[in-house]
Amino acid sequence: MFNELGLSPKVLSAVEAAGYTKPTPIQAAAIPHALEKRDVLGLAQTGTGKTASFVLPMLSLLEKGRARARMPRTLILEPTRELAAQVVESFEKYGVNHKLTVALLIGGVSFEEQNRKIDRGADVVIATPGRLLDHLERGKLLLQQVEILVVDEADRMLDMGFIPDIERVCKILPAKRQTLFFSATMPKEIANLVDRFLNDPIRVEVSPTSSAAETVTQRFVRSGSTPKDKRDTLRRLIRGEKELANGIIFCNRKRDIGTLFRSLERHGFSVGALHGDMDQRTRMLTLEAFKQEKITLLVASDVAARGLDIPKVSHVFNYDVPHNAEDYVHRIGRTGRAGRSGSAFTISTPEDKKLVAAIESMLKRSVDWFEDDAPAKAAPTPAPAAAAADETPRPSRGRRRGERRAEQAAAAPAPETTAAPASAPASAPAPAPRAEAPARSDGEATRSERGSRRSKGRRGEGREPEENRVVFRDTPYVPAFLLRPLTPRKVTPARKSTTEQVG
């Protein structure tokens, strides 16, 4: 029970209001130690309730004392803007009974508002590493009073090349502080970081990464190798799934996201697209539309979708077998969250044999093959342009490395909100090119170029060939669903109600 963990009455009442009856395993294990001001090393993925496992004790501990101007009391580092924004939401939800100032320091938005928050005295700073360092370099932020540091999704930070930045921040922080450190996996670079910057941490581990959620039914589906074959297979799967309420479709390459998005849309599906190079505003709108069930399908990259907390996703479709077996677990972990059931389909071509074998070796078992009786099951009538859409992927344009300048873009006042010509419907020949280089998902691109992102990145952005980092310019820049009245075309019957169970 939550009231056995030592949390304050204010926090307990917020938890009750959130409807949680029982702590998740990571919460039960981590919260008492965090409240004793011990360092905690949490080995847990998203979906395990790990956010509350650090936010709840932080709220309790912050009840004593006040923040001074420019000197935050706690600092939370997140690899991406979306994750940072999600943590702010958690503070709002669990901190309803507290009067705390929370500052969100992320790239892609102006410094002004962030400076105002810091100047007023922030109890909690939630930041992506690049933007945090910018504030520090400008002398706007002082870390001498930080009592608690949270490093969230550390392995994701590694993928994105942020480890040198984290080291820099750790060195600036007071040595006498509490560190709560979370990672789904423990590669050696992360283990080194833990050794150097955590003080005798309590190690709390919930379900190792290689164990895919038990609530997810996983099936692999054989398909021909051409993009058209794969799109046919995908449509057949979607249409065949009567229980599908909504789904995320993962592609390995951004180039394919645009093509697949347009194809599905022209085939009459309610669909949006999400990848790291879209501007922040469009990403947020798309995500919100998906969460609110205004769109049914989301075509996404690993980078854009990993770690996002979308509680009710009934299906995951891997349009491509992921290059990295660990990404498979992260992808299918978007469904079957918090005890719900979910389905995952992975489309596999004869060329994917090795990748499937790698997944089997990680799962320590063979995958199940889905034997459907192929083509045409009942389906929504394809839109007239569908066939043509399938056969006319647009060539992608190259994007210079130098264009990855999120921080420059971020320095201008909210550029992404001003540069959004919502004029190009999905079926239009080509979207208007943006005047401004769009911010990346994490808003930290410049850091990577300074540091070791490229050399150290093991997957995610680092794995995509440079020429594939462009395509959003050829994808509809504002998804067409945002231009339509808000009546979604559902491809499936109404969602079945599910019960939530954690623990």
The answer to whether residue 47 forms part of the interface with ligand AMP (CB under 6 A) is yes
Q: Which is nearer to ligand AMP, 283 or 469 (CB)?
A: 283
Helix (H, G, I), strand (E, B) or coil at 39: coil
30 touches ligand AMP by CB under 6 A = no
- Helix (H) or strand (E) segment spanning residue 456: helix 453-456
The three-state DSSP-derived secondary structure of 296-311 is: CEEEECHHHHCCCCCC
How close are the terminal C-alpha atoms of the chain, in Å?
Answer: 11
Q: Which is nearer to ligand AMP, 124 or 338 (CB)?
A: 338
Closest-by-Cβ residue to ligand AMP is 51
122 scored as a contact of ligand AMP (CB under 6 A): no
Q: Which of 24, 246, 314, 441 binds ligand AMP (CB under 6 A)?
A: 24
Burial status of residue 31 (CB atoms within 10 A of its CB: 0-12, 13-18, 19 or more)? buried
Candidates 21-29, 69-77, 272-280, 342-350; binding stretch for ligand AMP (CB under 6 A):
21-29
Residue 309 as a binder of ligand AMP (CB under 6 A): the answer is: yes
Binding segment toward ligand AMP, per CB under 6 A, in 45-53, 166-174, 406-414, 458-466: 45-53
Least Å distance between CB 389 and ligand AMP?
A: 35
- Residue 230 CA to its chain's centroid (Å): 25
Rounded to a whole number of angstroms, the minimum distance from the CB of residue 48 to ligand AMP is 5
Closer of 24 and 223 to ligand AMP (Cβ): 24
163-172 helix and 129-137 helix, angle to the nearest 10 degrees = 40
Strand pairing of 178-183 and 102-105? unpaired
Contact 319, 260 (CB under 8 A): yes
Which has the closest alpha carbon to 325: 167, 209, 497? 209
CB of 305 to ligand AMP, least distance (A): 13
**Contacting residue, 174, 208, 224, 311, with ligand AMP by CB under 6 A:** 311
Site membership for ligand AMP, residue 446 (CB under 6 A): no
CA dist 148 and 171 (Å) reads 14
Q: 49, 272, 393, 476: which one contacts ligand AMP (CB under 6 A)? A: 49
* Single residue of 5, 11, 14, 48 touching ligand AMP by CB under 6 A: 48
Nearer to ligand AMP among residue 46 and residue 396 (C-beta)? 46
Q: How far apart are CA 66 and CA 364, in angstroms?
A: 51
Q: Which stretch binds ligand AMP (CB under 6 A): 50-58, 124-132, 175-183, 349-357?
A: 50-58
Which of the ranges 49-57, 231-239, 269-277, 374-382 carries the binding residues for ligand AMP, by CB under 6 A? 49-57
Q: Which is nearer to ligand AMP, 352 or 442 (CB)?
A: 442
Q: Taking contact as CB under 6 A, which single stretch among the options 19-27, 104-112, 218-226, 346-354 is the one that binds ligand AMP?
A: 19-27
Taking the CA of residue 104 as centre, how many other CA atoms within 13 Å lie in the half-sphere pointing to its CB? 20
**Which residues touch 100 (CB under 8 Å, ≥6 apart)?**
59, 62, 91, 123, 124
Contact flag: residue 488 with ligand AMP (CB under 6 A): no
**Shortest Cβ distance from residue 312 to ligand AMP (Å)?**
9
Q: Are strands 148-151 and 216-222 parallel, antiparallel or unpaired?
A: unpaired
Rg (CA), the chain: 22
Question: Quick one: which of 41, 370, 283 has its CA closest to 178?
Answer: 41
46 binds ligand AMP (CB under 6 A): yes
| Stretch of 43-51, 352-360, 396-404, 466-474 contacting ligand AMP, by CB under 6 A | 43-51
Strand partners, 343: 217, 315
Indicate the residue among 10 and 484 with the shorter CB distance to ligand AMP: 10
What's the per-residue H, E or C state across 90-131? HHHHHCCCCCCCEEEECCCCCHHHHHHHHHHCCCEEEECHHH
CB 44, CB 50: distance < 8 Å: yes
Measured distance CA(29)–CA(206) in Å, rounded: 9
Interface mask toward ligand AMP for 326-355; x: CB under 6 A: ------------x-----------------
CB nearer to ligand AMP: pick between 310 and 482: 310
Residues 52-71 that bind ligand AMP (CB under 6 A): 52
Q: Which CB, 274 or 406, lies closer to ligand AMP?
A: 274
Size of the site for ligand AMP (CB under 6 A): 16
Contact footprint for ligand AMP (CB under 6 A): 20, 22-24, 27, 46-52, 309, 311, 338, 502
